[in-house]
Each structure stands twice: as C-alpha cells, then as structure tokens.
C-alpha cells in the first residue's frame, strides 16, 4: 500500500440553477472528506468578496427611529429592505447611488440610478411603499466592497457623515453551504472518501466562482505556513500517468507571449493590467472573468475592452 497521500479530483459539478451547484470531490484520503468539507464551508461563508450598502441618506430623516410622511414603512423597515439589495461592483472605491421617487407606488431596487461600475442582482427587491399621491422619497446610498461581516462600530470615524445613517454590512455573496461525506472505493481500496458540497449564492457570483475562490484562499493560507517543506503526493488511486514522458512538452504559441502593451488597449486598461503583474497574453488568459473583475483598478469597461480584443485575436 502506498504511504503517499494522493491528491483528489473535482469529479463532477451539477448545476441546480444559476445560483446553486453541487461539487463532487473524489477520491479523498481517509478522513479528508470532513477536513476539506469543513474548511471550504467556513471560507465560503466568511471570506468571499462581495458588496453591500454601508450607509444611506434620506431627505427629512436624521435618525433611524422615525417615520416618513406618506410612506408606509418606517425607517427601520426600510433599512432592512436596503440590506437585502445585492450588487455586483466592478471597482474598489465606494460607490454612491441615488433614488428619487414621487407619487403613490412601490419603490424598488430597479429605481436606483446606477453607474457603469455597479449592477443590481435583484432589481425587484422592495425598498418602500409610498401610499400618499403627494408623498416622495429622496435617497442616497453608499455601496462598498468587502469580505465577511462588518459591524456598525467598525465602520470607522472617517466614514461617518453627520446626515448619513451607517449600516452594518454582510458582504458575503454565499447564502448557504452544505456538505456530505460518503464512502467510496477505487480498486481494492475501500476506505476512501467522497465529498459532496452544495453552494448557494445570491447571484452576484456563480457557485463555481465562489468555490474556486475559497479553494484559492485556502491554498494561499497553507502555502504561507508550509515554508520550504515539500511533501510528495501520489496520483489518485486508479489513475495512471505513466504514459506521460518528461520530454513530452507542449509548445506554446508565440502570440501568447505578446506584451500587454502591444495590444493597443487604452492607457487606463493597460496600466491596470501591468500594475497587477499581468504582462503578456498568457498571463491574461490564465485569469477567469471573476478574477479579472477583482483586479485593483480594473473596472467593467476595461473588462469589456479586453473581451473585445481577445475576440479580435480569436483567443
């Protein structure tokens, strides 16, 4: 029997919907189903980047314990509704959104005035209900990106504005994570684990993007602790890579080594890529769309520009 701890594989991914998927990881070394399942679940629920409203300003409202003439909900209820709005934000800087609504009717997230760096995932989310034909709502929101949960007392004195009501923020886009460990066998080995992990998100990120980001976070954490120590790993049971020769190398097309600066992208997009250590087409293609969006200074317009250039180059 091999004394090496073999590496598992992502055996399959079942998409239940745009926001829910189950990942099957097997075969795992004995006991590693629980080890990986628990660590992935904790990171998925606490550390995936997202966006949330961290403060708002409303005409005629100086604190949360008040009511608004002509509006059905009080300010506390409106605050709860605002926390349920989910965003995709393509910039690192805080974004300011506004809303102005007059006349009787339901005010929804889709009534917000957006900019190029912000999208609303659930435009049908209700914010308030104006029940007086002469009633109105003037609202300004502060939207920020972050990870995990940020309490109200952690917002920072510098961010507080005299007429802005600050909110605690839950940035994580992952709503629920469930995992189950089953027994599996490969050949004569009958004590292996199979891990099934189901991820549900709010729609601002796909389950696969969330899963891959969580795995990458864990890799970075453990790599930093491992130092120079290396551990030999075995191939998955039943796997055979003996047909691969050390001389079997795949030649990369020369165009993949083309410099980013030679693609005739805009100066802003080029600088954003170079500043994030992306210097060639190969570097660019190694990143997923979600990873590109997370780059510092890389907005939605830059992403569209890169996509157009890659399509032009047929890459």
Give pLDDT tens digits for 260-304: 877 788 888 888 888 887 888 887 787 777 777 778 778 778 888
pLDDT above 90: residue 106: yes
| CATH number belonging to the domain at 5-48+174-226, selected among 3.30.1360.10, 3.20.20.140, 3.40.50.410, 1.20.1250.20 | 3.30.1360.10
Give phi and psi for 17, each to the nearest 5: -165, -175
Superfamily for domain range 51-169: DNA-directed RNA polymerase, insert domain (2.170.120.12)
Report pTM. 0.68
Which residues on adjacent β-strands are paired with residue 96? Answer: 142
pLDDT above 60: residue 172: yes
pLDDT band at 196 (very low <50, low <70, confident <90, very high): very high
Give pLDDT tens digits for 203-260: 999 999 999 999 999 999 988 888 888 777 655 555 544 433 333 444 455 667 778 8
- pLDDT value, residue 219: 92
Concatenating the DSSP letter of every residue in 30-41 gives TTHHHHHHHHHH
Q: What angle do CA 62, 63, 65 make, to 5 degrees?
A: 135
Which residues on adjacent β-strands are paired with residue 147? Answer: 49
Give pLDDT tens digits for 42-64: 999 999 999 999 999 998 888 88
Locate 257 and state its tokens. 């080594």
The predicted model gives 128-136 an average pLDDT of: 91
In 3-state terms, what secondary structure has residue 268? helix
Domain ranges in the chain are: 5-48+174-226, 51-169, 256-312
Please tell me the distance from the alpha carbon of residue 275 to that of residue 236, in angstroms, as a whole number.
Answer: 38
- pLDDT value, residue 64: 82
The third-level CATH classification (topology) of the domain covering 256-312 is DNA polymerase; domain 1 (1.10.150)
């Amino acid at each position: 029997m091999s004394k090496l701890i073999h590496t598992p594989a992502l055996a399959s991914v079942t998409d239940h919907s745009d926001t829910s998927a189950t990942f099957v990881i097997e075969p795992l070394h004995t006991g590693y189903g629980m080890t990986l399942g628990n660590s992935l679940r904790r990171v998925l629920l606490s550390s995936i980047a997202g966006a949330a409203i961290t403060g708002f300003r409303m005409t005629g409202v100086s604190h949360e314990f008040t009511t608004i003439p002509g509006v059905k909900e009080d300010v506390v209820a409106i605050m709860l509704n605002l926390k349920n709005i989910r965003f995709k934000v393509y910039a690192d800087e805080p974004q300011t959104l506004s809303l102005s609504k007059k006349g009787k009717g339901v005010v929804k997230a889709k009534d917000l005035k957006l900019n190029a760096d912000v999208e609303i995932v659930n435009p049908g989310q209700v914010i308030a209900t104006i029940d007086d034909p002469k009633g109105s709502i003037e609202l300004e929101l502060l939207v920020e990106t972050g990870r995990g949960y940020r309490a109200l007392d952690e917002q920072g004195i510098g961010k507080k504005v005299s007429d802005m009501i600050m909110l605690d923020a839950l940035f994580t886009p992952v709503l629920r994570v469930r995992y189950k460990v089953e027994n599996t066998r490969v050949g004569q080995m009958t004590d292996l684990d199979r891990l099934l992990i189901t991820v549900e998100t709010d729609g601002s990120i796909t389950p696969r993007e969330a899963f891959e980001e969580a795995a990458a976070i864990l890799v970075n954490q453990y790599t930093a602790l491992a130092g120079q120590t290396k551990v030999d790993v075995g191939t998955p049971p039943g796997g055979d890579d003996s047909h691969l020769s050390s001389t079997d190398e795949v030649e990369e097309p020369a165009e993949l080594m083309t410099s980013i600066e030679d693609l005739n992208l805009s100066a802003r997009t080029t600088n954003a890529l170079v500043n994030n250590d992306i210097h060639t087409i190969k570097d660019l293609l190694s990143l997923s769309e979600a990873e590109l969006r997370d780059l510092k200074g890389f907005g939605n317009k830059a992403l569209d520009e890169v996509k157009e250039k890659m399509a032009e180059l047929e890459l």
